[in-house]
Amino acid sequence: MLQRAARLWRREANYELRDFRLSESITGPIWAISKFGAMRQKELAEHIGIEGNSLVRILDELEAEGLVVRKSMPEDRRARLIELTAAGRRVAVELEQSLRGFISSLLGNADPADVQAAQRILTVIINEANRRAERD
């Protein structure tokens, strides 16, 4: 059920994001950097739950669009700090507004208590999966 819901969610989110010419997977880094601030590439991959090599391709695309910039870090020249550009910050604001409307329309008929319960359950699943991944 979770896989089906995730697939349908992505499909609808991609439709909602069509005017931005960005896919749901591309918006993850924009959202995370906007919410948590500039961060190392490895931290960003962890925040959005993807592998590092997948993130590199996404960052290449975002950098080509002028939405992010990768900066060398003085204390570790191998590490890259990922920041939003001014254009990236503008897109982040527009994305948030668009996705708020999308979420409201998708969950508008749901009882708020049910939405909160679902969020709690999903948080438990995510936290437990992360805990298990750390043991490996």
The token duo for 128 is: 């437990």
Report how far residue 29's alpha carbon sits from residue 116's, in angstroms, rounded to the nearest whole number.
25
CATH number (domain holding residue 115): 1.10.10.10
pLDDT at 17: 82
For 17-109, where are the alpha helices, taking DSSP H only? 24-36, 41-48, 52-64, 86-107
Taking alpha carbons only, the member of 90, 77, 72 closest to residue 34 is 90
* CA distances in angstroms from 127 to 4, 47, 51, 63, 102, listed in the order given: 20, 12, 18, 31, 26
Lowest mean pLDDT segment, chosen from 11-15, 41-45, 118-122: 11-15
Report how far residue 104's alpha carbon sits from residue 72's, in angstroms, rounded to the nearest whole number.
39
**Domain housing 67:** 2-135
The token duo for 26 is: 């591309």
pLDDT in tens, 59-90: 999 999 999 999 987 877 778 899 999 999 99
Amino acid letter, residue 131:
R
pLDDT in tens, 20-61: 887 777 889 999 999 999 999 989 998 888 888 889 999 999
pLDDT at 59: 95
Average pLDDT over residues 4-23: 85
The token duo for 70 is: 């990768």
pLDDT at 121: 93
Domain count, the chain: 1
Sheet with 76-84: list strands edge to edge: 39-40, 76-84, 68-73
For the whole model, what pTM was predicted?
Answer: 0.75
